[in-house]
Amino acid sequence: MYKGTSRKFVGFVIFIVGFIAGVTFATLYYLNRMQAITDKVNIKINDQYIVAEIAKTEAERKKGLSGRDSIGLNEGMYFIFDAPGRHSFWMKGMKFPIDIIWISDGRIVGFEENMEPPADLNIPESGLKNYSPPGLVDRVLELRAGRVGILKASVGDTVMAKPLLPK
């Protein structure tokens, strides 16, 4: 009788440990997915929407879209700066062409379209072309090349950005 009870207890302990491990992994997966969503915004330009990742730290802004093979037609990267400035961009480590929308106070102030990546991914930083806005900007939106034309965006258009998940 004692031996059978011991087996049941061991089985129960294994069940509990497995259950706790399953709940822990599910929770971590959920939190990771939530973090991925909270780091994105829904951007509206001319009744069209783009889901963009937010680059708000210096490290995130420096990396940008470099190293990726591509982005989707309705995807982008939204750069948020602490203060307006002439924030310049380059194509370091980029593998595909992009468009840039320069934004100040929620309005488009300019574009760079069909920016081609360097032919040599190992080109030194000093050899990279810098792209600068036409004036002070506090936001920048990088998109797949050709997207600015599809948006039919113009200087002066409103850019609205809302988190995918309200806080």
Q: Each residue of 48-64: pLDDT tens digit?
A: 999 999 998 888 888 88
Taking only the tens place, the pLDDT of each residue in 20-54 is: 766 665 555 554 554 445 689 999 999 999 999 99
What is this structure's pTM? 0.76
Strand partners, 104: 107
Check if the beta carbon of residue 163 is closer than 8 Å to that of residue 38.
yes
Q: Which of 44, 55, 58, 53 is nearest to 107 (CA)?
A: 44
Please list the alpha-helical segments (H only) found in 39-143: 58-63
Instruction: Give every strand in the sheet of 98-104, ordered side by side.
Output: 107-115, 98-104, 137-144, 75-85, 48-55, 40-45, 160-163
Taking only the tens place, the pLDDT of each residue in 65-112 is: 988 999 999 999 999 999 999 999 988 889 999 999 999 999 999 999
Q: What is the mean pLDDT of residues 143-165?
A: 92
